[in-house]
Amino acid sequence: MKTLEIILPVRNPTEVLAQTAGSIAGQTDRGFSVLISDNHSTKGGEWIDSATNEFQKAGISVRRIKPPAELGRVEHWNWVHHQTQGEWLKPIFAGDWLELNYVSRLRAASAANPACRYIFACYTLHRLNEAPELVSSPWVGRFYPPAEMTTKVLRYGMQFGPPSAAAYERTAFFEAGGYPTPLPICSDSLLFCSMASRYGVFGLADPLCNFNIHGARFSTGLGEKKKFTFQETITYLWLLGYQAWSERTPFSKGMFLKMLLREVRNYRRAIKAK
């Protein structure tokens, strides 16, 4: 891995930002820089100042930027990626945190797999008033090349975790077309499935990231948006299937259909349970 930049897009951050900043500042390998982008917050400025100070105290190079106007959530993510200077990028959101050996493990994996342009880590999911849950993936431990991942993605769908568990080459992100804004709930799923099938993927088996569904988070409200989530899921799976068909990539149509039906079944169960 060449240079690494950690991206921290924030809007009206709360005290949860402190834990995120602490986990970045405490990394055992500090050969990276941090970019904080504030999407015109109306409150929580003190938490951004405090995070900036913490990085500076730890000797980590930090830049603070602001988009020219207030942007949508996914639009802000895309914009901030284009303000980066690192060759590898690692997004993380306020409230999530990294294990202290994350950067060193990421760097080692990248060095051992120079062809790899996208690396994710297994993660621990923290929900309000629930015990932490370890989320693993079958695609860990070695570099899975694109040809192999295309068929896997079209059989199992999203298995790569949220943006806070991901790191990728800057140019790979640009070439892939960023986070698709018309799918605000599933934009990360589509991007990561696309990158895995286009560039291959390496998964870090240890849970090195912590995904925290705290009260101020967009994901907290997803339970009430089951229909939207289902519609977006079906759309992005169709997009992946169509691309594979278009590029004449061999994949099992039957398994793809089975995956779609699985999503329908899960959605119907969720609706019934509600």
Partner 1 sequence: MTPTLEILIPVKNPDERLVQTAASLAAQSDRSFAVRLSDNCSQTGAEHIENAARQLTAAGITVHLTKTSREIKRLEHRNLIHSEAQADWLKLVHAGDILQTSYVEQLRRRIVEQPQAALIRCDAELQTEWGSDTARAPFKEPRITAARVADYFPASVVWLSHAANIAYSRLAWLEAGGYSNHLPGFASLNLNLTLALHHGVENIAAPLVRVESADRLPLNESAGERVNLPLELWLILRQARNYCLAAKVHWHCRWPWWRATTARMGSW
Contact set with partner 1 (CB under 8 A): 67-69, 71-72, 74-76, 78-79, 82, 171, 174-185, 190, 194, 198, 228, 231-232, 235, 238-240, 242-243, 245-248
How far is residue 142's CA from residue 152's CA, in Å, rounded to a whole number? 15
Residue nearer to partner 1 on the CB measure, 107 or 170: 170
Nearest CA among 194, 192, 199 for reference residue 160: 192
Smallest distance, Å, CB 237 to partner 1?
A: 11
Residue nearer to partner 1 on the CB measure, 194 or 212: 194
Between β-strands 118-127 and 201-213, what pairing exists: parallel, antiparallel or unpaired?
Answer: parallel
How far is residue 69's CA from residue 266's CA, in Å, rounded to a whole number? 39
Contacts of 24 (CB under 8 A, 6+ apart): 6, 8, 34, 55, 60, 92, 98
Smallest distance, Å, CB 190 to partner 1?
A: 8
Between β-strands 143-144 and 4-10, what pairing exists: parallel, antiparallel or unpaired?
Answer: unpaired
Smallest distance, Å, CB 177 to partner 1?
A: 4
Residue nearer to partner 1 on the CB measure, 165 or 183: 183
Smallest distance, Å, CB 78 to partner 1?
A: 4
How far is residue 176's CA from residue 198's CA, in Å, rounded to a whole number? 9
Distances (CA, A) of 150 to 186, 194, 249: 18, 8, 8
Residue nearer to partner 1 on the CB measure, 238 or 252: 238
Smallest distance, Å, CB 173 to partner 1?
A: 9
Smallest distance, Å, CB 187 to partner 1?
A: 8
Residue nearer to partner 1 on the CB measure, 60 or 166: 166
Distances (CA, A) of 251 to 149, 156, 207, 221, 243: 10, 12, 30, 35, 11
Smallest distance, Å, CB 47 to partner 1?
A: 25
How far is residue 125's CA from residue 115's CA, in Å, rounded to a whole number? 29
Residue nearer to partner 1 on the CB measure, 24 or 190: 190
Nearest CA among 189, 77, 207, 83 for reference residue 136: 207
Residue nearer to partner 1 on the CB measure, 24 or 158: 158
Residue nearer to partner 1 on the CB measure, 13 or 180: 180
Smallest distance, Å, CB 224 to partner 1?
A: 13
In which element (H, E) is residue 228 found? helix 226-246
70: Cα within 13 Å, side-chain hemisphere: 5
